[in-house]
Amino acid sequence: MVALWAVTACAPPGPVFESGACPAGVKGEKITCGVVRVPENYDVPDGRQIALNVIVLRATDSSQTKVAEFDLEGGPGHGATKGAAFYLGEGAAFRRSRDVVLADQRGTGGSGALRCPSIEAYDRQRPAQPVYPADMVKDCAAVLSKTHDLTQYTTAASARDIDQIRKALGYEQFDLFALSYGTTLALRYIADFGAHVKSALLLGPVPADRTPPRYHANVAAQALDLVLADCASDPACRQAFANPRADLAAAIARLDAPAGFARAVFMEQLRTLMYAPAGARQVPFFLSRAAVGDFTAFDEATKPSAGDPGFSDGLYLSITCSETFARIDVDGAIEQSIASPFGAYRLERQRDACAQWPKAPADARLFDAPLSDVPVLLVAGKFDPVASPAWALDAVKRFPKGRVVIVTHGAHVLDGLSDVGACFDAQVLAFMDAGRVEAFDAACADRMQPPAYRTP
């Protein structure tokens, strides 16, 4: 007995959830907020720690215990805890039979956010100027490096963080709900800790070998082509815009003029607008105005919001510089992108930014895609300007119990489609409750309709 006590006493303690105060607006007897502390560098467990910010929204049906859904946000750079408002409101049904766990990824939100204030201010004040000025990136890296090891903010480390949170909260298995880059992280977690995943819903799937912005220009060009073709088949859009492809050509010619609005920035903002169906349905209108030199409405629709952006540029650069630019043929990618209407703007800007940013050691398992028995539902939008539906069709091959659903009018997200709550959310719950992809009624994806095209 003495020997056993000695081994237990000397064993390293497991992760612990430390309760704390919840943020304003996140209140309730079934809500717990706090942190789980993890090593910044897992190879130096006694070194600097990161306090991962966690919100647990307990199941409203008290008969359900130790069943959970973990949300993984996109970017990389967005924190997950901002999603609490959804689950406290229109998404309350998700909590009926399971806890919802929202944890800010390391380097985002309340988990030691890697923010670059000068870049954020620059973006707000000069939205029409090129992103990531190299001097500002260099300065941000220097400032953050005083208190952070920027080489430790990786997808692999973030996957380990998720498992530490799982252990600290006492869940043996949970469901994953992931969006955009969150799907990259989800796929890595499944590869490393798949035994703990009951099911996974991946919206806008981005496998690790497709991480941004490697394919931004070419995928956006495909999406833009689909939008313009769809406009031609829509009576109201066709009547309002006789030839949107000619408008695109005229806009590009005007933007290329020396005194014109910068083409690269305009096209990048247009690509971002297409992330959601509601934005994509405005594209023909904006092209028609740009063709005659009127950017007023476009500027208004794409200007940065006045509030706190909450985006961690430092995490975005840490991950993309180490996991995209360090692993791809950058010159080849630029050459492939130049021919598209969107050009090589993002690749060139971030290539120069990454020259100023610390790189993580090569991750030998970054592109691994082992077979897995986890039931995985990959949901792709037909009009996605970020993640091609073809990626989902390829990724599902590693999941014998997987399935791809292509949302007919979806983009990278589904914002702006009708019946998202009554249809899509209900089917996601049916899938998670059953743990089988067959439980998702794909017919609902066709019933969700986009708003009307914007016309003059």
List of domains in the chain: 11-112+151-212+368-447 (3.40.50.1820), 227-302 (no CATH)
CB count, 10 Å around CB of 446?
12
235: CB partners within 8 A, 6+ apart:
none
Token pair in block for residue 242: 């006789």
Per DSSP, the residues of 123-157 read HHH-TTSPSS-HHHHHHHHHHHTTT--GGG-SHHH
> Angle 345-354/216-233 helices, nearest 10 degrees?
160
Token pair in block for residue 363: 């991750």
Please report, for the chain, how many H helices and E strands are present, in that order: 19, 9
Q: Are strands 99-103 and 49-57 parallel, antiparallel or unpaired?
A: antiparallel
CB count, 10 Å around CB of 13?
5
Cα–Cα distance between 108 and 376 in angstroms, integer?
Answer: 26
Whether the CB-CB separation of 289 and 305 falls below 8 Å is answered with no
How high is the mean pLDDT in each 10-residue block of the chain (456 residues)?
Answer: 31 82 87 97 96 96 79 96 94 93 98 96 79 96 98 98 97 97 98 97 96 93 97 97 95 72 85 96 96 91 73 97 91 92 92 96 92 98 97 98 97 95 94 96 92 96
Whether the CB-CB separation of 431 and 177 falls below 8 Å is answered with no
349: CB partners within 8 A, 6+ apart:
130, 131, 132
Write down the pLDDT at residue 300. Answer: 87
Whether the CB-CB separation of 137 and 317 falls below 8 Å is answered with yes
Whether the CB-CB separation of 190 and 200 falls below 8 Å is answered with yes
Write down the pLDDT at residue 254. Answer: 85
Write down the pLDDT at residue 260. Answer: 45
Q: Are strands 68-72 and 174-179 parallel, antiparallel or unpaired?
A: parallel
Type of residue at 159: A
Write down the pLDDT at residue 64. Answer: 61
pTM for this one?
Answer: 0.94
Token pair in block for residue 313: 């540029």
Write down the pLDDT at residue 14. Answer: 86
**Closest-CA residue to 157 (of 209, 106, 81, 206):** 106
Instruction: Map tokens 């993984």 to a residue.
Output: 72
**Closest-CA residue to 38 (of 89, 111, 140):** 111
Cα–Cα distance between 262 and 258 in angstroms, integer?
Answer: 9
Token pair in block for residue 434: 């059953």
Write down the pLDDT at residue 154. Answer: 98
341: CB partners within 8 A, 6+ apart:
221, 224, 248, 252, 267
Write down the pLDDT at residue 24. Answer: 87
